[in-house]
Amino acid sequence: MVKTDADILQLSLFETTGKPHTNYMALYDLAPRFALKTDRLSGAMLSSIKREFYFNGDLYRVVVTPARITDAAGNERDVLPGEREQLVEDVLRKLAIEKISLADQDQVRAFFYIYRIHKELSAHKHTFSKAEIREALEVLNKSTIEIVRVSTDKKKPQPVLYAAAFPVLAFADQNDLESQAYVQLNPLLATAIKTLAYEQVNYNWLMKIKGQLPRWLFKSLSLLFSDKSSPNDLIEIKASDVANGSGCKAKRWREVLLEVSKAVQKLKDKQVIEWFEVQNVMEGRTKVDVVFSIKLSKQFMDDRRSAIARTDFNRTQAEKHTGTRNPEKFHPISSEAAVQVKLEGRIGEGRQLELH
């Protein structure tokens, strides 16, 4: 039996999001789980993506198995999730704050229409047909993501996730792409919603940024301050860390360093970064890395402080209704309480906007 979205505290908090923002879970959304343009995205048979990356000082491994789909002509082929799927998932995550429900066994479902995804992508100048969006959803449903924490003391890797981005994809009418549909969010995201382990990212800003690597870097910078009450606008990042964390690759390492440099410059062009300085790391005459000393813009820092305030609001509401700032179970509340939670959240957003 599916419960209504208005009687669960965590779902009400998840939906209480400022218009330009959406919610992201750092580990899941920063894992390099999408194929790059340099990868072969579609073919009769493809190998899995296998990458290692660091998160909060720990080493993780992600393996993404391609989806086996059947095209209109009845031919089977493998497809790896790439930029198209990443954009569709970003849009669907934004739409999810409008209507989610809790099903049995703590499954979280997000409802949508394909025409809404199409309209949203078109508004941000990302042009995909409805059929392409439908295929992207199928790829996100049929490709599997495995994330494990790699132990450094020869112990077995610790499983974190083994599921599709959307383990369930269902249409009210399978023959009608215009009918309402829903996806089940993967268990890692469902747990993040339950425990409030997610952060706000400026969706409108994100969608204005072109390119997988610059968008990944924007998400990374946005989620960098998730556990800091007083973020610092001066940071230092290494090109090698960005490349490894995002899965960026090229035939030559110097090409990778160049792509990262371009991504940093794009964020400056979009007023995310106010200025940056570059220091090349050399081994003899060979450039092996680039260190960027970055000053983040006031606009970006104001946005991050608002996101931090939203996280604190969520935790405070959880403590008020459950007695703990870190709930481990979905908590039912009355419809009146759900309305009050959303109202207080929006009032808080208004105050944050006045301050900035």
pLDDT (tens digit per residue) in 246-270: 998 888 999 999 999 999 999 999 9
What is the pLDDT at residue 5? 45
pLDDT at 346 over 80: no
Per the CB < 8 A criterion, the answer to whether 37 and 88 are in contact is no
Q: How many residues does the chain have?
A: 356
Q: Is 69 helix (H, G, I), strand (E, B) or coil?
A: strand
pLDDT at 125 over 80: yes
Q: Residue 204 corresponds to which tokens in the numbers above?
A: 């409108």
> Which domains, and CATH codes, for the chain?
5-210 (no CATH), 214-298 (1.10.10.10)
pLDDT band at 174 (very low <50, low <70, confident <90, very high): confident
Per the CB < 8 A criterion, the answer to whether 168 and 104 are in contact is no
What is the pLDDT at residue 110? 94
Distance of CA 312 to the CA centre of its chain: 20
Q: Residue 54 corresponds to which tokens in the numbers above?
A: 């660091």
What is the pLDDT at residue 73? 80
pLDDT band at 225 (very low <50, low <70, confident <90, very high): confident
Pairing of strands 181-184, 108-112: antiparallel
Q: Residue 194 corresponds to which tokens in the numbers above?
A: 């339950």
pLDDT at 9 over 50: yes
Cα–Cα dist 87/133, whole Å = 10
Cα–Cα separations (whole angstroms), residue 149 to 129, 153, 158, 166, 189: 38, 12, 5, 22, 17
What is the pLDDT at residue 3? 47
pLDDT band at 316 (very low <50, low <70, confident <90, very high): very high
Q: Is 65 helix (H, G, I), strand (E, B) or coil?
A: strand
The span from the first CA to the last CA of the chain, in angstroms, equals 44
pLDDT at 121 over 90: yes
pLDDT in tens, 62-107: 999 999 998 778 889 899 999 999 999 999 999 988 888 998 888 9
Find the mean pLDDT for residues 164-187. Answer: 90
